[in-house]
A and B are shown apart, each in its own frame.
Chain A
Amino acid sequence: MARTLINVPPKAKRGEIITIKTLISHIMETGFRHSNVGVRIPRDIIDTFVCTYNGEEIFRATLYPAIAANPFITFHTVATESGTIAFKWTGDKGFSATESVKITVE
C-alpha cells in the first residue's frame, strides 16, 4: 500500500471553499527511460485520480508520464455538508490506493 498524505481542514463553514492537498508515494516510471544495459524500463504510472464527496464525484484527473514522481495534486471544493471525502488512485500494473477523510461542516 502506497503511503499517502492528505490535507483537508477538519472543520469548515457551510459554503466555504476549502483547499485539498494530496500526495501519494509512487515512482511514476515514464516508460521512456532505459536501464544501463539498454533495456527499456516499462511504464509504471498512476493514470487516474478521483475525489468523491459523500459519494458524489467532485474532481477527476488523468495523469500522464509528465507528472513528477510522488504525484502531488492540489484542488478546491465547496464544503456543502458533513461527511467523508474519499480519494482513489489507480494506475499501471493493477495499482490501486484509496484514502478517506472526515469533514465537519457547521
Chain B
Amino acid sequence: MNRRLSSPATRRAVLAAAGGACLALTVRPAAATPAALTLAIRKVVGEADVKPGKVQIELPPLVENGNTVAMSVSVDSPMTPKDHVKAIHVFTEKNPQPNIISVQLGPRAGRASISTRIRLADTQKVVAICELSDGTFWSHSVDVIITLGACLEDNLI
C-alpha cells in the first residue's frame, strides 16, 4: 500500500520533469535569434527600441529555388517632409551574412515601397526594419521554406 501510494507521485514527478525538459528543448531554439542577426540589427538601430508593425514584407511562403526570390517591402507612411520613412533594412537568419539590402529614402519617394530579388540559403526567417523620420524603428518578420537553397552549387562551376 505504501509503495502504491508513493509510486504514482514519483511517476508524476518524473513525467512532469521530462515534459518540462522537452518543452524547454523545443521552445528555446525557436525563440533565440542567432547572434549574428541580433548584432547586425543592433548595428543599425543602436540602443533604440524596435516595435512590430508598420512595415510589411511580401515573400512567397514556399520557394523552390533560393537563388532568386522576389521580395517586396512596403511601409505604411504618408511620406510627407514631416513624417516619412528614412531607411529600410532587410536581414536574414541563416545566410552566410545577415544583411540583404539597406535602402535610404526620403519624402521625394512618394511611396515607401521597394522590390528586388534576393538569395536565401536555407529555410529561415527574414526580418525587415524601417526607420521613420521621428527616429522610431518598426519591424516585420516572415518565415520562408526553401526547397533548394542558394550557395549550394559549389561543384557546378
Contacts and interface: CB of A to CB of B under 8 A. Distances in A.
Contacts of B15: none
A78 interface: yes
Contact of B97 (A33, A65, A72, A74): A65
B105 interface: yes
A63 B114 CA distance: 13
A2 interface: no
Contact of B117 (A61, A64, A68): A68
Nearest to B104: A60
DSSP majority for the B interface? mixed
Interface in B105-131: 105-106, 108-111, 113-120
Contacts of A35: 154, 157
DSSP majority for the A interface? strand
B155 interface: yes
B151 A30 contact: yes
A86 to B, nearest CB: 14
Contacts, number: 101
B103 interface: yes
Given A59-B104, A78-B109, A66 B114 contact: no
A64 B97 contact: yes
A97 interface: no
B124 to A, nearest CB: 11
Nearest to B155: A36
Interface of B: 67-69, 72, 92, 95-97, 99-106, 108-111, 113-120, 150-151, 153-155, 157
12 contacts: A30-B151, A58-B108, A60-B104, A61-B101, A61-B102, A66-B99, A67-B100, A67-B119, A74-B116, A76-B109, A77-B110, A80-B108
